[in-house]
């Protein structure tokens, strides 16, 4: 076995040249592009990280803004609720006052209507009583409508004070209203009775007044003496109203 | 059959005999150089398929060197990568009919081993300095100096012999089988030879990396002695 030193030397030089060639045209450019890609990747990662940080910051700011808006909203809602509550209380108070006023008014109206109704009823009752009495008296004989009241009228005149009684019949005939025209005998009885009470003879001027139903009414300048059913019914009605 | 251990010049350039391994090496250099130049003319951030393969190759070389040396692979990338690529292409050049791989001749293997030997010295001295590098021969004790010197030589020769023996034997066996059997009988052996060629390229490159790495590796600092006088 022999070694060709020329070939050994040439191969050494060849490998060194190949080493230079590959280093120059293969390994250096490829390593460079790998490094550039890594740098680009790192830059992209850094950029993405920065974008992420920016996004996180923006998100935090948005969250803070949202919380601020929510807080402000809650405050405004509370404020509005408070105002609404105050307004509600005011309206309720006004409504309550109006209701009280209306209630009082209604109570007054009701009392007034009740009173008016009672008065109307009383009046109707009086009228009805008058009608009843009139119908009942219509069944009595007509003489009873005057004769039965003569003594009572005389007694009433006798019950008047002396001064009043003295003035009756001094200036002319005594006006007398009767439910129906009395008979001569009834007039004479009345004249006699009054003469006894007054102590002197008096003239009587009779006027027919059917509204008296039954009875007599002496109408003088100093006194009016009533003894008839109308007066009694009016008195009874007045008494009933007073008791109500 | 020619003696595989002998080599005949094809022609002469002046006094220099040009043998077949040299011519084949030139062809390989031309092919690799042109391919590298063309393939790396338009490298882009978004790679093409070819660029992806190239980047994968370079990244793998860097990864292997980094794993073995535990350091920056940049100074050794071109050397280790060139050794691996050249040996691989040279071994696989036997697929071309009539071409005998340059690595089947000891001169080429010796040239590669010589370059590795010089690289060990170059990087070792460049990293440690002359004194520091020479001091490594006295590790762990000065008694080891002769053995370390012999080791430097023998491991270089082991590189030569390993590569030469494997490739030459493969070519020799295929030649014998081809001369005895038909045209297609050596195909399995040729496939095996491809595998052997790739493995030998890898082994040569890794051993070169290991030797250079051992030359530039940081010597572990001795632990401070504890005071035991107490």
Q: Give the C-alpha separation, B163 to B6, whole Å.
A: 17
Q: What is the average pLDDT across A9-37? A: 94
Nearest CA-CA distance, residue A3 and chain B, Å: 7
Structure tokens at B166: 């494997």
Counting one residue from A and one from B, how many pairs have CB atoms under 8 Å apart? 126
- A101 and A153: one domain? no
Of residues B1 and A16, the one with the higher pLDDT is A16
- A47 assigned to some structural domain: no
Complex confidence, ipTM: 0.89
- A220 and A239: one domain? yes
Nearest CA-CA distance, residue B186 and chain A, Å: 27
Among A101, A117, A139, which residue terminates a domain? A139
Q: What is the number of structural domains in chain A?
A: 2
CB atoms under 10 Å from CB of B167, counted, come to 27
The per-residue pLDDT for A184 is 85
Residues 4-23 (B) with a CB less than 8 A from some CB of A: 5-7, 16-19, 21-22
- A239 and A174: one domain? yes
B60 in reach of chain A (CB within 8 A): no
Nearest CA-CA distance, residue B84 and chain A, Å: 11
The per-residue pLDDT for A182 is 87
Residues of A within 8 A of B58 (CB-CB) are 26-27, 30-31, 34
8 Å CB contact between B77 and B61: yes
Q: Which residues face A174 on adjacent strands?
A: A204
Handedness of CA A77, A82, A86, A89 (dihedral sign): positive
- A106 assigned to some structural domain: yes
Strand pairing report for A174-178 and A204-208: parallel
Residues 79-108 (B) with a CB less than 8 A from some CB of A: 79, 81-83, 85-86, 102, 105-108
pTM: 0.61
3-state helix, strand, coil split of chain A in percent (to 5) is 75, 10, 15
- A150 and A200: one domain? yes
- A62 assigned to some structural domain: no
The per-residue pLDDT for B136 is 87
Which CATH number is A174's domain given? 3.30.2320
Nearest CA-CA distance, residue B79 and chain A, Å: 6
Three-state DSSP class for A162? helix
Q: Which residue of B has its CA nearest to A31?
A: B58
A206 Cα distance to chain centroid? 60
Residue A12 and residue B32: Cβ atoms within 8 Å?
Answer: no
Q: Give the C-alpha separation, B83 to B111, whole Å.
A: 11
Q: Which residue, chain included where needed, has tokens 């020329």?
A: A6
Helix (H) / strand (E) containing B18: strand B16-19
- A162 and A223: one domain? yes
Q: Which of B21, B199, B50, B136 is nearest to A13 (CA)?
A: B21
- A152 and A227: one domain? yes
Of residues B16, B25, B54, nearest to A11 (C-beta): B25
- A146 and A239: one domain? yes
- A165 and A228: one domain? yes
- A135 and A169: one domain? no
Q: Which residue of A has its CA nearest to B3?
A: A1
Q: Give the C-alpha separation, A215 to A233, whole Å.
A: 12
* B99-130 tens-digit pLDDT: 889 999 999 999 999 999 999 999 999 998 99
pLDDT band at B2 (very low <50, low <70, confident <90, very high): low
Residues 137-156 (B) with a CB less than 8 A from some CB of A: none
- A225 assigned to some structural domain: yes
Nearest CA-CA distance, residue B225 and chain A, Å: 45
Q: Which domain holds residue A212?
A: 142-243
Q: Which residues face A216 on adjacent strands?
A: A178, A227
- A60 assigned to some structural domain: no
Among A86, A108, A139, which residue terminates a domain? A139
Instruction: Please provide the DSSP assignment of B36-54 as one string.
Output: HHHHTTT--SS--HHHHHH
- A236 and A172: one domain? yes
- A170 assigned to some structural domain: yes
CB atoms under 10 Å from CB of B35, counted, come to 16
Q: Give the C-alpha separation, B204 to B200, whole Å.
A: 6
- A221 and A128: one domain? no
% of residues, chain A, pLDDT over 70: 97
Mention every residue, 6+ apart, whose C-beta is less than 8 A from residue A165. A157, A158, A197, A198
% of residues, chain B, pLDDT over 90: 54
Among A139, A158, A178, which residue terminates a domain? A139
Residue B33 and residue A2: Cβ atoms within 8 Å?
Answer: no
- A45 assigned to some structural domain: no
- A132 and A155: one domain? no
- A7 assigned to some structural domain: no
């Amino acid at each position: 076995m022999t070694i060709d030193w020329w070939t050994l030397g040439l191969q050494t030089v060849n490998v060194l040249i190949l080493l230079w060639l590959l280093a120059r045209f293969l390994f250096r450019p490829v390593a460079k592009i790998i490094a550039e890609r890594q740098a680009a990747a790192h830059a992209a990662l850094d950029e993405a990280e920065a974008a992420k940080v920016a996004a996180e910051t923006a998100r935090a700011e948005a969250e803070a803004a949202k919380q601020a808006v929510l807080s402000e909203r809650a405050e405004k809602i509370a404020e509005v609720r408070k105002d609404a509550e105050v307004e509600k209380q005011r309206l309720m108070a006004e409504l309550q006052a109006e209701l009280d006023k209306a209630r009082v008014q209604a109570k007054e109206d009701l009392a007034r209507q009740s009173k008016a109704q009672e008065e109307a009823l009383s009046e109707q009752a009086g009228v009805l009583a008058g009608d009843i009495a009139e119908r009942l008296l219509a069944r009595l004989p007509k003489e009873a409508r005057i004769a039965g009241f003569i003594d009572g009228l005389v007694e009433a005149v006798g019950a008047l004070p002396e001064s009043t009684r003295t003035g009756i019949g001094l200036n002319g005939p005594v006006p007398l209203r009767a439910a129906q025209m009395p008979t001569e005998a009834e007039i004479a009885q009345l004249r006699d009775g009054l003469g006894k009470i007054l102590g002197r003879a008096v003239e009587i001027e009779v006027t027919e007044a059917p509204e008296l139903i039954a009875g007599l009414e002496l109408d003088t300048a100093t006194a009016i003496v009533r003894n008839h059913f109308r007066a009694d019914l009016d008195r009874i009605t007045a008494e009933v109203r007073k008791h109500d | 059959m020619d003696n595989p251990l002998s080599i005949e010049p094809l022609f002469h350039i002046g006094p220099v005999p040009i043998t077949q391994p040299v011519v084949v090496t030139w062809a390989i250099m031309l092919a690799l150089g042109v391919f590298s130049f063309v393939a790396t003319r338009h490298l882009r951030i978004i790679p093409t398929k070819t660029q992806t393969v190239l980047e994968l190759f370079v990244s793998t070389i860097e990864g292997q060197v980094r794993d073995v040396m535990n350091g920056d692979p940049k100074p050794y990338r071109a050397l280790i990568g060139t050794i691996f690529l050249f040996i691989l292409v040279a071994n696989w050049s036997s697929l071309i009919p009539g071409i005998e791989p340059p690595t089947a001749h000891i001169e080429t293997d010796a040239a590669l081993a010589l370059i590795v030997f010089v690289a060990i010295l170059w990087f070792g001295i460049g990293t440690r300095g002359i004194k520091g590098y020479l001091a490594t021969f006295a590790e762990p004790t000065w008694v080891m100096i002769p053995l370390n010197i012999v080791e430097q030589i023998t491991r270089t020769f082991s590189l030569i012999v390993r590569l030469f023996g494997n490739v030459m034997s493969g070519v020799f066996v295929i030649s014998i089988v081809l001369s005895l059997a038909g045209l297609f009988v050596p195909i399995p052996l040729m496939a095996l030879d491809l595998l052997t060629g790739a493995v030998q390229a890898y082994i040569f490159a890794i051993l070169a990396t290991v030797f250079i790495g051992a030359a530039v590796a940081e010597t572990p600092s001795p632990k401070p002695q504890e005071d035991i006088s107490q």
